[in-house]
Structure 1
Amino acid sequence: MLDNTRLRIAIQKSGRLSDDSRELLARCGIKINLHTQRLIAMAENMPIDILRVRDDDIPGLVMDGVVDLGIIGENVLEEELLNRRAQGEDPRYFTLRRLDFGGCRLSLATPVDEAWDGPAALDGKRIATSYPHLLKRYLDQKGVSFKSCLLNGSVEVAPRA
C-alpha cells in the first residue's frame, strides 16, 4: 500500500518516454534508484514514489486518483478521455506542462496494392488500430464509415496481413 502523504508519479515502464522521464526527474533533483524489475521506486531525498507502469494505464491512474501526476503522450491521454466519455464518464485532469520530449504521429496505412485517394478510400473497410476512439473521431469528421479491429501492438503489420 502506498503512503498517501507522498507524491505519486506514474511514468512509462519501458518505451519511448521512459528514459526521458527518468532524465527529467533527475534534472528536477529527484534521486531514484530504479531497478529493472521494480515497479515502485521511492525517491531517496524527497517524499515521492515513482510508479513504473504501461503507458496506456497512466491516464486512468491519474483520473482515478491512484497517482497524483503522470508523464504521458497526448495520443494516449486523448484516447483514454474519449473512451471514458463514450462510457458516460466526465474525466477530470489538467496538463501542468507540455514537455519537450516524446512526440507522436498517428498514421493510416493501406496495402500497397490498394489505391489511396484520401480517407474516403477507407469507407466500409475494417481498420486495425490501437486508438479506436481517435480513429472514430477522425473518420466521423470525414464522413467515413468503418469497422475497427483493436490491436495493441505491431499494428504496422496489419496492412500486410
Structure 2
Amino acid sequence: MKNLKIAIQKSGRLNEKSVQLLKNCGLDFENYKSSLITTVGNFPLEILFLRDDDIPGYVEQGIADLGIVGENIIDETESKVEYIKRLGFGKCTLKLAIPKDSSITDIQDLNGKAIATSYPNILKNFLTEYKIDADIRLISG
C-alpha cells in the first residue's frame, strides 16, 4: 500500500501547531527536527518537512497528497490547489504601511508610488482591485 504524503513547514509559525495537530490525531512519529521526511509508525503516512513557499507546489504537482500552509502562501504562489479545511491557527495579516509624515491619506494616493513587498502577486491583485497603478518592488522576505 502506498503511503499518503503530507507536507508541513520544517520550521516557522505553523510547524509546532501542525506537528501537534498530527500527534493529537494519534500519529506516532519522531526525529522531525533533523529530517526532511519522516515515516509515521502507526499509519501509512510520510510527513515532508518543507519551506512554506514550497508546500503548495508539492501538492499541486502531486509530490505531496496534502499540505498545511497559510492561505497567503497559496495566494502568493498562485498554485492550483483546493482548500479542504481551515484549521484555525496561524493567522496572518498583510498591511500597507506608510511613513508617519506621509501625505498619503487615501488608497488612491498610492497611484504612481513605489511599493516594496515580499508578496508581489497579492499586492498586484489588491492594486488591480482598487484600480491603482503603482510600481511594485520585490524585496526578499
TM-score band, normalised by shorter chain: over 0.9
Query: Aligned partner of 2:134: which letter?
Result: F
Given the two structures, how large is their TM-score scaled by the length of structure 2?
0.92
Aligned to 1:145: 133
- The alpha carbon displacement at 1:5 in A equals 0.9
For the residues of structure 2 that align with 1:35 and 1:99, how far apart are their CA atoms? Answer: 21
Aligned to 1:38: 35
The answer to whether residue 5 in structure 2 is matched with residue 8 in structure 1 is yes
Aligned to 1:20: 17
Query: Aligned partner of 2:16: which letter?
Result: D
Question: Could you list the per-position Cα deviations for residues 43-66 of structure 1 after superposition, in whole angstroms to 9, with x for gaps in the alignment?
Answer: 111111111111111111101111
For the residues of structure 2 that align with 1:150 and 1:34, how far apart are their CA atoms? Answer: 36
Question: Could you list the per-position Cα deviations for residues 51-96 of structure 1 after superposition, in whole angstroms to 9, with x for gaps in the alignment?
Answer: 1111111111101111001001111111122xx6xxxxxx3x2222
For the residues of structure 2 that align with 1:25 and 1:131, how far apart are their CA atoms? Answer: 29
| Map 1:1-150 → 2, pairs under 5 A | 5-81=2-78, 91=80, 93-150=81-138
Structure 1: state its 5+ residue gaps.
85-90, 154-161
Given the two structures, how large is their TM-score scaled by the length of structure 1?
0.81
Using the TM superposition, name which of 121-130 and 43-52 deviates more.
Answer: 121-130
For the residues of structure 1 that align with 2:32 and 2:88, how far apart are their CA atoms? Answer: 25
Contact 1:39 1:52 in 2 (8 A): yes
Contact 1:119 1:139 in 2 (8 A): no
Count of aligned pairs? 141
Which secondary structure does the structure 2 equivalent of 1:61 belong to?
helix
Structure 2: state its 5+ residue gaps.
none
Cα root mean square deviation, aligned: 1.5
Work out the percentage of aligned pairs sharing the same amino acid: 44
Question: Could you list the per-position Cα deviations for residues 91-121 of structure 1 after superposition, in whole angstroms to 9, with x for gaps in the alignment?
Answer: 3x22221102111111001122212312222
